[in-house]
Structure 1
Amino acid sequence: MLDQAFAALADPTRRAIIAQLADGEATVQDLARPFSISQPAISRHLKVLEEAGLIETRVDGTARPRRLKPEAVAELWDWLGQYRALWEVRFRKLDAVLDDMAREAGTSATKGKEDQ
Protein backbone atom coordinates (compact mmCIF):
# COMPACT_ATOMS: atom_id res chain seq x y z
CA MET A 1 0.00 0.00 0.00
CA LEU A 2 2.74 2.49 0.90
CA ASP A 3 4.60 2.01 -2.39
CA GLN A 4 1.47 2.62 -4.43
CA ALA A 5 0.49 5.59 -2.29
CA PHE A 6 3.86 7.29 -2.59
CA ALA A 7 3.98 6.57 -6.33
CA ALA A 8 0.54 8.15 -6.69
CA LEU A 9 1.61 11.18 -4.65
CA ALA A 10 4.72 11.68 -6.79
CA ASP A 11 2.58 13.52 -9.33
CA PRO A 12 1.86 17.20 -8.50
CA THR A 13 -1.64 17.07 -10.00
CA ARG A 14 -2.57 14.16 -7.76
CA ARG A 15 -1.13 15.95 -4.72
CA ALA A 16 -3.28 18.97 -5.61
CA ILE A 17 -6.34 16.73 -5.90
CA ILE A 18 -5.59 15.27 -2.46
CA ALA A 19 -5.32 18.83 -1.10
CA GLN A 20 -8.73 19.65 -2.58
CA LEU A 21 -10.26 16.52 -1.10
CA ALA A 22 -8.86 17.42 2.31
CA ASP A 23 -11.57 20.11 2.34
CA GLY A 24 -14.29 17.52 1.69
CA GLU A 25 -15.94 15.46 -1.00
CA ALA A 26 -15.84 16.66 -4.58
CA THR A 27 -17.06 15.53 -7.97
CA VAL A 28 -14.83 15.08 -11.00
CA GLN A 29 -16.10 18.42 -12.34
CA ASP A 30 -15.21 20.17 -9.06
CA LEU A 31 -11.78 18.59 -9.03
CA ALA A 32 -11.11 19.42 -12.70
CA ARG A 33 -11.95 23.13 -12.33
CA PRO A 34 -8.52 24.43 -11.18
CA PHE A 35 -6.58 22.47 -13.82
CA SER A 36 -6.01 23.14 -17.50
CA ILE A 37 -6.37 19.45 -18.36
CA SER A 38 -9.33 17.47 -19.60
CA GLN A 39 -11.91 15.80 -17.40
CA PRO A 40 -10.82 12.34 -18.68
CA ALA A 41 -7.26 13.18 -17.56
CA ILE A 42 -8.56 14.08 -14.10
CA SER A 43 -10.50 10.81 -14.07
CA ARG A 44 -7.28 8.90 -14.82
CA HIS A 45 -5.56 10.68 -11.89
CA LEU A 46 -8.51 9.77 -9.67
CA LYS A 47 -8.26 6.14 -10.74
CA VAL A 48 -4.57 6.07 -9.73
CA LEU A 49 -5.40 7.60 -6.35
CA GLU A 50 -8.24 5.13 -5.83
CA GLU A 51 -6.08 2.14 -6.80
CA ALA A 52 -3.48 3.38 -4.31
CA GLY A 53 -6.18 3.31 -1.64
CA LEU A 54 -5.99 7.04 -0.91
CA ILE A 55 -9.49 8.00 -2.04
CA GLU A 56 -12.84 6.33 -2.47
CA THR A 57 -15.94 6.97 -4.55
CA ARG A 58 -19.36 7.33 -3.01
CA VAL A 59 -22.41 6.65 -5.16
CA ASP A 60 -25.05 9.34 -4.73
CA GLY A 61 -27.67 8.84 -7.43
CA THR A 62 -25.91 9.75 -10.67
CA ALA A 63 -23.15 11.65 -8.87
CA ARG A 64 -19.91 9.95 -7.87
CA PRO A 65 -18.21 12.24 -5.36
CA ARG A 66 -14.71 11.33 -4.26
CA ARG A 67 -13.37 11.62 -0.74
CA LEU A 68 -10.18 10.86 1.12
CA LYS A 69 -9.88 7.57 2.92
CA PRO A 70 -8.82 8.68 6.40
CA GLU A 71 -7.34 5.30 7.31
CA ALA A 72 -5.02 5.42 4.28
CA VAL A 73 -3.87 8.94 5.12
CA ALA A 74 -3.36 7.87 8.74
CA GLU A 75 -1.18 4.96 7.61
CA LEU A 76 1.01 7.33 5.58
CA TRP A 77 1.19 9.76 8.50
CA ASP A 78 2.16 6.98 10.90
CA TRP A 79 4.94 5.80 8.60
CA LEU A 80 6.24 9.32 8.11
CA GLY A 81 5.91 10.02 11.83
CA GLN A 82 8.64 7.58 12.77
CA TYR A 83 11.07 9.45 10.53
CA ARG A 84 9.85 12.82 11.74
CA ALA A 85 10.70 11.82 15.31
CA LEU A 86 14.15 10.67 14.22
CA TRP A 87 14.87 13.96 12.42
CA GLU A 88 13.56 16.04 15.33
CA VAL A 89 16.09 14.34 17.64
CA ARG A 90 18.86 14.98 15.13
CA PHE A 91 17.90 18.62 14.69
CA ARG A 92 17.83 19.16 18.47
CA LYS A 93 21.37 17.75 18.67
CA LEU A 94 22.48 19.98 15.80
CA ASP A 95 20.91 23.01 17.51
CA ALA A 96 22.89 22.22 20.67
CA VAL A 97 26.15 21.97 18.70
CA LEU A 98 25.43 25.23 16.88
CA ASP A 99 24.57 26.97 20.18
CA ASP A 100 27.88 25.77 21.65
CA MET A 101 29.76 27.00 18.58
CA ALA A 102 28.03 30.39 18.77
CA ARG A 103 28.90 30.74 22.47
CA GLU A 104 32.53 29.84 21.78
CA ALA A 105 32.69 32.26 18.84
CA GLY A 106 31.20 35.00 21.01
CA THR A 107 33.72 34.33 23.75
CA SER A 108 36.60 34.30 21.25
CA ALA A 109 35.41 37.54 19.65
CA THR A 110 35.18 39.21 23.05
CA LYS A 111 38.68 38.03 24.04
CA GLY A 112 40.11 39.40 20.81
CA LYS A 113 38.60 42.83 21.48
CA GLU A 114 39.78 42.88 25.11
CA ASP A 115 43.35 42.10 24.11
CA GLN A 116 43.57 45.15 21.85
Structure 2
Amino acid sequence: MFQGVVPKECIAQILRVSEVDKWGRVYNCCSGTFRFEQITLATFPGVEMHSNDVSLYSSAIAGYVLGKPIDYEFHGALDFVNEFDFREPDQRLAALAVGFNLGRFAGGKANAYKTS
Protein backbone atom coordinates (compact mmCIF):
# COMPACT_ATOMS: atom_id res chain seq x y z
CA MET A 1 0.00 0.00 0.00
CA PHE A 2 1.16 3.49 -0.75
CA GLN A 3 2.03 5.45 2.37
CA GLY A 4 2.53 9.17 1.93
CA VAL A 5 2.75 11.70 -0.84
CA VAL A 6 5.17 12.60 -3.58
CA PRO A 7 7.37 15.48 -2.35
CA LYS A 8 6.75 18.87 -3.98
CA GLU A 9 10.39 19.00 -5.08
CA CYS A 10 9.95 15.75 -6.99
CA ILE A 11 6.81 17.04 -8.71
CA ALA A 12 8.59 20.28 -9.60
CA GLN A 13 11.42 18.27 -11.18
CA ILE A 14 8.97 16.13 -13.18
CA LEU A 15 7.30 19.27 -14.49
CA ARG A 16 10.67 20.86 -15.36
CA VAL A 17 11.93 17.94 -17.45
CA SER A 18 8.61 16.93 -19.03
CA GLU A 19 6.80 18.68 -21.86
CA VAL A 20 3.45 18.61 -20.08
CA ASP A 21 2.15 21.63 -21.99
CA LYS A 22 2.72 19.78 -25.30
CA TRP A 23 1.02 16.58 -24.13
CA GLY A 24 -2.42 18.12 -23.72
CA ARG A 25 -3.49 15.32 -21.37
CA VAL A 26 -2.02 13.90 -18.19
CA TYR A 27 -3.08 10.59 -16.62
CA ASN A 28 -2.22 9.88 -12.99
CA CYS A 29 -3.35 6.53 -11.63
CA CYS A 30 -3.96 6.00 -7.93
CA SER A 31 -3.36 9.55 -6.86
CA GLY A 32 -4.28 9.51 -3.19
CA THR A 33 -3.84 13.15 -2.17
CA PHE A 34 -4.15 14.74 -5.65
CA ARG A 35 -1.04 16.83 -4.94
CA PHE A 36 0.47 16.06 -8.35
CA GLU A 37 -2.75 17.11 -10.09
CA GLN A 38 -3.04 20.35 -8.13
CA ILE A 39 0.54 21.41 -8.84
CA THR A 40 0.38 20.33 -12.49
CA LEU A 41 -2.85 22.24 -13.14
CA ALA A 42 -1.52 25.30 -11.32
CA THR A 43 1.55 25.21 -13.56
CA PHE A 44 -0.24 24.17 -16.78
CA PRO A 45 -3.90 25.23 -16.44
CA GLY A 46 -4.72 24.21 -20.02
CA VAL A 47 -3.79 20.56 -19.55
CA GLU A 48 -6.60 18.00 -19.42
CA MET A 49 -6.09 16.01 -16.21
CA HIS A 50 -7.35 12.47 -15.61
CA SER A 51 -6.78 10.77 -12.26
CA ASN A 52 -8.36 8.55 -9.67
CA ASP A 53 -8.11 7.77 -5.99
CA VAL A 54 -7.52 4.36 -4.46
CA SER A 55 -9.56 5.01 -1.34
CA LEU A 56 -12.34 2.52 -2.21
CA TYR A 57 -9.85 -0.30 -2.65
CA SER A 58 -7.89 0.63 0.48
CA SER A 59 -11.08 1.01 2.52
CA ALA A 60 -12.45 -2.31 1.27
CA ILE A 61 -9.25 -4.13 2.26
CA ALA A 62 -9.14 -2.42 5.66
CA GLY A 63 -12.81 -3.20 6.29
CA TYR A 64 -12.25 -6.83 5.41
CA VAL A 65 -9.18 -7.16 7.63
CA LEU A 66 -10.94 -5.42 10.55
CA GLY A 67 -14.08 -7.53 10.15
CA LYS A 68 -16.15 -4.45 9.23
CA PRO A 69 -16.67 -4.72 5.47
CA ILE A 70 -17.88 -1.61 3.68
CA ASP A 71 -20.90 -1.62 1.37
CA TYR A 72 -20.48 -0.71 -2.30
CA GLU A 73 -22.17 -1.40 -5.63
CA PHE A 74 -20.89 -1.76 -9.16
CA HIS A 75 -22.18 0.63 -11.83
CA GLY A 76 -21.86 1.13 -15.56
CA ALA A 77 -20.02 -1.57 -17.47
CA LEU A 78 -19.59 -3.61 -14.25
CA ASP A 79 -23.25 -3.41 -13.19
CA PHE A 80 -23.71 -7.10 -14.04
CA VAL A 81 -21.48 -8.03 -11.08
CA ASN A 82 -24.30 -6.99 -8.71
CA GLU A 83 -26.36 -9.92 -10.03
CA PHE A 84 -23.96 -12.45 -8.49
CA ASP A 85 -24.72 -13.62 -4.99
CA PHE A 86 -21.53 -12.47 -3.30
CA ARG A 87 -22.51 -12.62 0.36
CA GLU A 88 -19.13 -13.21 1.95
CA PRO A 89 -16.81 -10.22 2.39
CA ASP A 90 -13.89 -12.02 0.77
CA GLN A 91 -15.98 -12.71 -2.33
CA ARG A 92 -16.98 -9.05 -2.63
CA LEU A 93 -13.39 -7.94 -2.12
CA ALA A 94 -12.25 -10.34 -4.84
CA ALA A 95 -14.95 -8.97 -7.17
CA LEU A 96 -13.72 -5.45 -6.48
CA ALA A 97 -10.13 -6.44 -7.27
CA VAL A 98 -11.26 -8.06 -10.53
CA GLY A 99 -13.30 -4.94 -11.33
CA PHE A 100 -10.25 -2.71 -10.89
CA ASN A 101 -8.26 -4.96 -13.23
CA LEU A 102 -11.06 -5.14 -15.81
CA GLY A 103 -11.17 -1.36 -15.91
CA ARG A 104 -7.82 -1.35 -17.69
CA PHE A 105 -9.39 -3.12 -20.66
CA ALA A 106 -12.69 -1.21 -20.83
CA GLY A 107 -11.55 1.38 -23.39
CA GLY A 108 -9.51 1.34 -26.54
CA LYS A 109 -9.83 -0.60 -29.75
CA ALA A 110 -11.70 -3.87 -29.99
CA ASN A 111 -9.50 -6.94 -30.21
CA ALA A 112 -9.70 -10.71 -29.92
CA TYR A 113 -9.46 -10.56 -26.13
CA LYS A 114 -12.13 -7.91 -25.61
CA THR A 115 -15.60 -7.82 -27.11
CA SER A 116 -18.49 -5.45 -26.45
TM range (shorter): under 0.3
Q: Give TM-score, length-normalised by structure 2.
A: 0.25
Structure that is richer in helix per residue: 1
